[in-house]
Amino acid sequence: MNRATENVALWLGNDYPLYCAAQGYKGYATPYLSLRKDLRDGFFKCTTTGDGFSLWDTSLDIKALDELLRDE
């Protein structure tokens, strides 16, 4: 797992409000892509982690993040 993916995964698992929001995406066909779109377009207007990693970084391993969301 690359650094950007690892950082996003850590934020998804350890930021409680974000973790709670992410739980609602488990059943989606593309949980991570759906979550990040809603984070950007919704109330939070979130596009980066607290450490400054972009949720749209082209090096993100989307499949790994989808698996993480489904398993949590």
The secondary structure of the chain, three-state, reads CCHHHHHHHHHHHHCHHHHHHHHCCCCCCCHHHHHHHHHHHCCCCCCECCCCCECCCCCCCHHHHHHHHHHC
**pTM of the full structure:** 0.90
Domain that holds residue 22: 3-71
The per-residue pLDDT for range 16-72, each reduced to its tens digit, is: 988 999 999 999 999 999 999 999 998 778 999 999 999 999 999 999 999 999 986
pLDDT score, position 16:
93
Q: Is residue 13 pLDDT above 80, yes or no?
A: yes
- What pLDDT was estimated at residue 30? 96
The domain total for the chain is 1
pLDDT score for 1: 83
